Every structure is written in C-alpha cells, then in structure tokens.
Structure 1
Amino acid sequence: MKKIITGYDHNGTLFLTDNSIIREINPDYYSKALQIFEIFKNNNLENIGIVKTKLNQENNGFIHEKYPISYPFEWSANMLKDAILLHLKLYIELDKFDLCLKDSLPNNIVFDYSKPVFVDFLSIVKKQDLKKENWLNNPKKYSDIRYAIFEQMMVPFMIIPFIAFAQNKPEIARDLLKNKACNAGGMTPSFQDLMIDTSKLSSNCFSSKIKKFFKKNKTQVNGSYDNLINKIINIKETNFVKFCLELTEIIKNIDITPPSSNYDTYYESKKENFDFTDKSNWKNKQNVVFDTIYNNDQISSVLDLGANTGWFSRLSESLNKKIIAIEIDESSIDKIYKISQQKKLNILPIQGSFLDIESKKFGDFLEDPIYKNQDFKNIPIFTSMIDRFKSDLVLCLALSHHLILGEGIEIKKIINQLADLTNKTLVLEHIELNDELIKNDPNFFKNIAKFNSQNYNIDLVIKEGMNYFSNYVIKDSHPNSRKLIIFNK
C-alpha cells in the first residue's frame, strides 16, 4: 500500500510505501529527469550525499531509499548546521557536471540516523535550465542565477534559523523552520525575526547594524559572525563555487552547540553513566531493558521517549537496533547527535515533546491543475510523530509521572498514545507517589494535588494497558518505588 506525501513539485509526485519512496514523474518531464539520473548513476553521486535512487520500470519513475522522516524544526542545532554544509557541498560538487540545485530548502534533507541525505531528486537540474523556473526572479540581475537561489532560498529558510540557533534562541529557530517554512502558510523568514530592525537601512548600514547587535549580545552568541553577515548581506558576485567554498569555511567555524543544561549531565549526576560492556555495576533498570531487547529477535527498531543524552538509546543501538531518540532538552538532544555522528551510530535524534506527539501542520492549499494529485486539505505537509515513529519496542522511562503529575494528562490518554506508537513491546516505568524525588520536590509537579493513591497507581496503568496489549510482566526498577511494566502485543 502506498500513501501520497504532500509536496509542491510540479514535475512529479511522491508516495510512501513500507520499504521505499516511489517518485512518479510527469510524462512531460520524464526525459529530462532520466538525463539527470544517468549523470547521477554514471558518476556515483549518491557518494556526495544524494539519496540512493534507481529506476522504477513500472511507471517511468524512481525508487528512492527510505529513511525515517524528520523535519528541520525537529533537528538539533548541529543537525541544521550539517544540513547547510551538505547543501553547499552539493552546489560545489554538482557544478562539475553542469548541474545545480534549483532551490535550497532544509526540507529537501532528511537524516539517515546521524548522516544528512539530500532527497529532493527532481530539484537537481542542468544549470542552463535554471532560467526556466517560473518562481525564480532575479531582481539584482545576477549573471549567475544561483546567487538568486541562494538569496531567496538558503538565506531565509536555512541561514536565518541557523543564526537564531547561534544566538541561543532555539524557540525562534524552530518557529521559523516550522511556521515559516516554504509552503507552510507563513511569511518568508527575515532578519526582523531575529529582532533586528532593518527598515530605512542601506545594505552596508544593515550589515553594520547586525554586527553591532551580535556584539551587544556577545554572551549569547557562540562564534564570530562578521564574515557570515558580510557574506550574506553584501553579496559580491564572483565565481559561485568559490563563494560556496568560502561560505562553507565560515559556517564550519561557527559553533552553534547549545549551552549546557541541568539535564545533559543527568546520568553522571545519578552515577548511572555505565559502561555498555561492563554490566557489573548496572542496576535493575539497565539489566531489565538489556534483557528485554537482547532476548527478543523480533525487535529491530526502538523508540526512546524522553531520551535525555541517550544512554538507553546507545544501549539499544549496541544490540544492533535502529533507534529514534526523542528529547525536549536542546543540549541533551544535540549531545546525542554529536555522539551518534562521531561513532556512526544508528540513532536519529528528534527534538520534541511527548505533548506534541500528535501535532501536525497543513501546508498551502494550491488549486493549480499541476497539483491535481495532491490532497492539501487532508494530508499535512508535516505529519505527526505518532504517524512517523511507530517502533517495535518503545521505551518510556522516568517520563510518565512528568506527564501525569506535571502536565495533568490522563493515564488513559498516555497509554493510548504509547500503544499507538508500539508495534510489539512497551517498557513503561511507573513511579509511585512515595518516590523520594517526588516527595522532595512536589512543587515541580504542578498537578500533583489532583492525585492520590486511588487515582494514580500501577494497577490503573496495567488496566489501561491491557486494553491494547495481550500480556505484561512487572520488574523491579531502581529504587524500589519504581517498577518497570513490560507490555507485549
């Protein structure tokens, strides 16, 4: 069964299947797409970061390798940085074959766990065909129209959110990447979104103003921005490849790693940052999770909810599973990404909250006949995490009490959502009201006054769970006020 993926490509339509992505190409564009594919295949261009692709003989289209779908507003700061660097690399490498990207959008990239991959195959075109793109205007009369693409696409949709991350304003960056994404119904991002008033300023004055702004906020900024700001505000048209090479070095040298938080040393503070190869000091919790995964060869994918810095994600990955790790803390999720990248782990970090697990967003509704295959009214441009991240095993460790006692979410709703995410096994840690961390800091749980041992207990959790699962076992966690419930379908 294949499902359509909402898109705004007037040359083809994408479909999601169980094992791949199918791209059907409009008949009037197929010959050009085939020319690009031949260059791609003959020069092994998948090695420069383009999605693995083969011809689909059934419908004159392409079959692409399938990766977990993540959206730019869910990436860690350094994931966005690497997506920008990949875009610049593609401009440089494709130029060798007289090819180019006809746009520069972060949504054209997904992550193969810790590695960015460019997936918008039909946006690779011959340089000579760029002038045929109706959407692209060139008000500054660049002789190389790729500068216009950079200015109209990469700057607003990638560079400006990048700067917001660098200012340590992730909430602004994520808002731009989601609500002002291309075709997402919002206005195009601008420097005003970074709270810089650009009205009545010449470009030179504008550049100076931005630099003063960064200097004033020096304590919030990681790295120097003079070169970056000068480069993107006062573009001086030279060789475009040289421009991309220079910009690459500038971006590389800007550190946008989030500042440390109270959560990114969680395991160290609890003295639970154990060696994966030495179980001698592990507690019940670590042993139970290990045994549950190790003894079940039916499990190939794991979803780690509230992953923190990813100890259990890395444990699962060490057992040859593919992991999606969801965490709301900016520093922690970026740390997961950097560790996964360095060690080449199959862990996809997702910045997000369980509260938003069902959130989705619809894009622009366009009535042009070229989009006749699209269902903009019913299929969102950004689908929910609950639809994208279903996994064989779901870990919900030290999280449910925050959702219930802190956020006031009903046990029934939480179990329903967890069951929807779970293909086979759910490992849920239940924490009693007499747990020391709850007793010592009740004010941290803003809805705790609504609960008592009658409406918050392990039996209620099990009762709800058995509406969706066929059996369960209870194991001791650590300390004794915590239990692990293992539900199986």
Structure 2
Amino acid sequence: MIQGLEEIDIDRSSYVDPNGFVFRYKGDFYRAIYRNVADFYRGLFENGTINTLISQHHLVSTEISEIQLPQPDVALVLKHEKIEPISYCTEWCPSMLQSAGLALLDLELAILGSDCLLQDCYPWNVLFRGTEPVIVDFTSIVKAESSLIWPAFEQYRAFFVRSLQLCLQGKGKVARYFISNNISGISVDDLIQASTTTFKLFHPSLLFEKIVDNTLQKKPDMRIRLRQNLEKSKPPSSDVRRHFFSRLRKKLANLKFPKGIDAWSNYYQQIGPQIDRKKKLDSIDSILNEHQPASVVDLGCNTGVFSIIAAKKGARVIAIDSSEACIESLFQTAREDRLPITPLISDLFCPTPPSGFLAKQYPGLLERVESELAMCLGLMHHLHITGRQSLPRIAELVHSVAKERLIFEYVAQDDDNNVLLGAGRPIHYTLDDVKKCLNEYFSRIEVLDSDRPTRKLLVCAR
C-alpha cells in the first residue's frame, strides 16, 4: 500500500471530478476511484463493457491495479496506458479536432447500451496515439440519470461544433485562440463576431440563439424556472438519445477539411532541379537507420517528408510546424497510411506556453515533446534571420527537445533563401560559429553534405 499522498503526484488538471482523481506513481498513470462509485466502475469491467470500449471505441487502455491508497474514500485504483505525446486542442489542425469530436460521440453511442452518458466533453479529455484519438477521461462515463438528453451538449458545442464552424471559414487560428480558454470555449457571441457575413447569412439561427441567450442572461428568474421544470421532467429514453447522438455525429462527419494550401505547403514543389533532394533524403534515411531512435521530434516539419521517413522506420514522431495547411496535410497523410505521427501546430518562435490555472495546469509544448532524436532541417535561417534568434538561443532550443541526438541543417550565410528572407540588419556567422554553440550541449558533431553546397547536415550526439 502507498503510505500517503506525498508518495504520488496528483495531476494538476484532475481537481473537479466527483468520481476520483488522476495521479502519477513511478512514471505510470493511475486513477483513484471514490468508494461511492467504485462498484459501478467495477461492474463495467466485470460485464466486459470496458474491454469493448477500449478495443472498439477509443477509450484509453485501462486495468484494475493492485495499488491501494490509504484514503478511506478511495476504494479502487485503475492503471491507464501512458499516451505520448501529450497534446492539446490549441495545437490541433481542423481534422484532428473533428477526429477527437467524432471519437467522443462514438464512445457516447457505445455506452448508451449500458445506460450511461459522458458527463463532460472537453477536448482536453482526448489525446492522440499517432493519429488515433484516445479518450483518457475514464470517469467521465456516468449513469444516465439526467433529465437532459445530454448535459454536456453546450460544452461540446463550445469546444467542437463552433470551433469547426470557424475552421470551415478558414479561421482555424481564431478558433484555436478562443478554445485556449479551457473553461468556456467559444460562445455564440464569439462565433457571430468572428464569422464572415456569408456564414451568418447561411446560418440565421445563430442570431435567434443569441437573442434567446441574451434574454435568459438578463432574466435569472426565468433561468431558474426552466431549470426546475427540466429537473422535474422524465429522463429521455435511450432511443431518443441514440437518435440525437447519431444525427450530431452525422453532421460532424460530413464536414470536409481539404489539405490546405499556403506558401509553405507548396515548398517542395517550388524547389528547382539544381537542388539534389535525393542526396538529403538518403542522408537522413542513413542516419535514422544507424541510430534507430524510438522517438523523433521534427521541428519545422513542413508537410512531413522527413517525419514520414522516421515513422516508417518505427519511430514515434512528433511533427511541429506553424502552418495549419502543412499540419492538416500531414495529419491526413499519416492517418491514411496509419503512421505513428502526431502533427502539431505551434510557432517555435513562441511555442505553446503553460496554461490553465496559475499557468501550471497544462505544461508548455517544449516540456511535452522531448524525444530521443530531434530534427531541425531547413529551419536555421528562419530562426536566426526572420525570428531574430541568436545562435546560442537556437542551440538552447534544439537541445531542450533532443534527449540523445540532433540532426541540424546548417544554412550558410550566402544561401539563396537568406537573400529572399531579407534580414534588415547585419548578419554574419560561419559553420564554426554554429558548431561552437551546439558543442555547448553536444559533445560530438559529424558534418555531412546536404542537398546544396550552401547547406550541411550536422549530426550531433550528447
């Protein structure tokens, strides 16, 4: 038995669940279940429901643990699969958000047969195993006792439906900004103000919903009477709920997000024949063959050419780029080919910061993506010239996410792309300058040719 709470690390985001709490112990994830609901969850294990939900409906792999906690109100401890990387909805492309939303509805439809509902539907309850959404909030599954069809419906609309409506208008960045508020998500007012005139013309019900919402906000007595009437009403049948969830799922599944196009998603099509792309591809392939990393983070991944090479060799890959179009394209490709790649949208000049209560609830990006091997290819000049980051700062960045090795592409000062970037200030550096900065963190550096004379691949090891 664990002697006391000081031996475990209670997850900072597990503070409001009435059924238990999540904690870490010796590197693994566990969930304590309170005594008043322990028999309910134990029964779902015993009748085979949990195994079905795990194998067919996106629930995180979970087993009953022999660990015991000393607290008298804890009667059961579960052990969860550790899903890596931890990612958040503020880093997802539209298809990832849609995939997570559909997974929640699939799970909801599956548990109706056990007379259960999901009590909440935050996107923070979903992680990605590669491109597969995994629902990690086990105790969100509760008995269906509410008189509402789905008590979490407004929450689902605020984080999934309205976000995807903005994405359909090409406003994915706006949607990700709004849902960074992990409490309220996107309100009707937010959606109306951020939407195009065309969208509002084709969705006149939004204005009606806003009027009703504003009226209820101004008349608390009316809200109280409505709530009291709902609480007195008979709970809807499982058939009514099934019809509701099936319709909602169909609407969400019908949304189509094409592989977007922007200046970066077409980058490889714009490379001239004088560039020896095969030479660089072969070099990266050879390096990965030699070292066989179990995990790789690809910084500035673009559409994921090198991420795909690493994934096909068995590495778990985290691919990061600021371009939504590139990440959308890579996610769809990886999903189609069943590759273990989790693509994330984040700007390396200003990566996703810690957030939530006291800015400690959700760790920042760089705390979550450390991998055995990091790749920083075709990015140095963007970080140094466009981003105005010094060479020591760039070395610190790549060091922070590379546990063992780094493949860093040096871009010489006279590279044609540097001319296009336009520094606007004096720039001077050499290969030796870059190696000196990297040597602060990596003891061995091997220099290989890349795809053009002005670039080199630096293979760095701790």
Equivalent position of 2:290 in the other structure: 295
Shift in Å, 1:196 = 3.9
* 1:160 counterpart = 2:169: no
Cα distance, 1:13 vs. partner?
Answer: 2.4
2:248 corresponding residue in structure 1: 247
Counterpart residue identity of residue 199, structure 2: F
1:417 shift after superposition: 2.1
Return closer, same or farther for 1:26/1:97 CA change in 2, 3 Å cut-off: closer
Once the two structures are TM-superposed, the CA of residue 316 in structure 1 deviates from its matched residue by 0.7
Matched letter for residue 56 of structure 1: S
Aligned to 1:385: 365
Q: SS where residue 349 of structure 2 aligns? A: helix
Whether 1:34 and 2:42 are equivalent positions in the alignment is yes
Say which SS state the counterpart of residue 457 (structure 2) adopts: strand
2:418 aligned counterpart, secondary structure: helix
Residue 282 of structure 1 and its aligned partner are, at CA, apart by 5.0
Code of the residue aligned with 1:286 in structure 2: it is L
Amino acid of the structure 2 residue aligned with 1:474: V
Among 338, 351, 359, which residue is 2:353 paired with?
Answer: 359
| 2:152 is the counterpart of 1:145 | no
Could you tell me which residue of structure 1 aligns to residue 177 of structure 2? 175
Does residue 464 of structure 1 match 2:458?
no
Give the Cα–Cα distance (whole angstroms) in 2 for the partners of residues 12 and 246 of structure 1.
32
CA distance in structure 1 between the aligned counterparts of 2:41 and 2:211, rounded to whole angstroms = 34
| 2:143 equivalent in structure 1 | 126
The structure-2 alpha-carbon separation of the partners of 1:191 and 1:469, relative to structure 1 and needing over 3 Å to count, comes to: same
SS of 1:348 mapped into structure 2: strand
Pairing partner for 1:85 from 70, 81, 102? 102
- For residues 103 and 116 of structure 1, what CA distance do their matches in structure 2 show? 16
Which residue of the partner structure matches residue 385 of structure 2?
A: 405
Over aligned residues, Cα RMSD in angstroms?
Answer: 2.9
| CA displacement at 1:215 relative to structure 2 | 6.0
Matches of 1:408 and 1:38, distance apart in 2: 59
Give the Cα separation in 2 of the matches to 1:109 and 1:412: 36
Report SS of the residue matched to 1:414.
helix
Task: Report how far residue 2 of structure 1 moved.
Answer: 6.3
Instruction: Report the counterpart of residue 214 of structure 1 in structure 2.
Output: 199
How many angstroms does 1:148 deviate by? 3.5
Q: Secondary structure at the match of 2:152?
A: helix
How far residue 19 of structure 1 moved from its aligned partner, in angstroms, is 5.8
SS in 1 for 2:63: strand
- 1:48 equivalent in structure 2: 57
**Preserved contact between residue 95 and residue 257 of structure 2 (Cα < 8 Å):** yes
Q: Distance in 1 between matches of 2:50 and 2:157?
A: 32
CA distance in 2, matches of 1:334, 1:289: 24
| Large movers: runs of 4+ above 6 Å | 224-234
| Residues 232 and 66 of structure 1, relative CA distance in 2, 3 Å threshold | farther
Determine the C-alpha separation between the residues in 1 that align with 2:258 and 2:207. 19
The 3 A distance-change label for structure 1 pair 349 and 70 is same
CA distance 1:188–1:323, shift in 2 (3 Å): closer
Is 1:57 the counterpart of 2:57 in the alignment?
Answer: no
Report what 1:425 is aligned to. 405
- What are the equivalent positions in structure 2 for 1:330-369 lying under 5 Å apart? 330-357=324-351, 359-363=353-357
Instruction: Tell me the SS of whatever aligns to 2:435.
Output: helix
Counterpart for residue 436 of structure 1: 416
Cα deviations by residue, 1:49-82 (Å, 9 ceiling, x for unpaired)? 1111001111231111111211011111111111
Kept in 2: contact 1:227–1:250 (CA 8 A): no
Q: Distance in 1 between the 2:205 and 2:354 partners?
A: 37
1:311 matched to 2:308: no
Tell me the SS of whatever aligns to 2:150. Answer: helix
* CA shift digits 1:251-283 (9 cap, x unpaired): 2222234642121122222269x9xxxxxx853
Residue-by-residue CA offset, 1:83-142 (whole Å, 9 max, x unaligned): 1111222221110111110111111111111111111001101113xx4xxxxxxxxxxx
Name the SS of the counterpart of 1:354 in structure 2: coil
Residues 170-190 of structure 1: per-residue CA shift (max 9 Å, x gap): 121001221x212xxxx5521
Aligned residues: percent identity?
26
Q: Deviations over 1:17-68 (max 9, x none)?
A: 6764222233444333323443455652112111110011112311111112
**Aligned equivalents of 2:157 and 2:138: distance in 1?**
21
Corresponding residue SS for 1:404: helix
Instruction: Please tell me whether the aligned partners of residues 131 and 335 of structure 2 are also in contact (alpha carbons under 8 angstroms).
Output: yes
* Cα distance in 2 between the residues matched to 1:175 and 1:420: 26
Deviation at 1:228, TM superposition (A): 10
Give the C-alpha shift of residue 343 in structure 1. Answer: 0.9
**Amino acid corresponding to residue 64 of structure 1 in structure 2:** H
Distance 2:196 2:96 in 1: 25
Aligned to 2:449: 476
CA distance in 2, matches of 1:115, 1:20: 21
Question: Is 1:66 the counterpart of 2:88 in the alignment?
Answer: no
User: How far did 1:487 drift?
Assistant: 0.7
CA deviations over 1:225-264 (Å, ceiling 9, x no partner)? 6899999999xx8912101111212122222346421211
Question: What residue is the counterpart of 2:263 in the other structure?
Answer: 262
Residue 5 of structure 1 aligns with an amino acid whose one-letter code is: D
Instruction: Give distance in 1, aligned partners of 2:207 and 2:444.
Output: 59
Contact 2:265–2:326, Cα closer than 8 Å, also in 1: yes
Distance 2:196 2:421 in 1: 45
AA of the residue aligned to 1:394: A
* Number of matched pairs: 419
Question: Residue 427 of structure 2 aligns with which residue?
Answer: 451
Moved more, 39-48 or 411-420: 39-48
The one-letter amino acid paired with 2:187 is S
Distance (Å, rounded) in 1 between the aligned partners of 2:33 and 2:430 = 55
For structure 1, the residue ranges without an aligned partner over 5 or more in a row are 132-143, 198-209, 217-223, 275-280, 364-376
TM, length-normalised to structure 2:
0.83
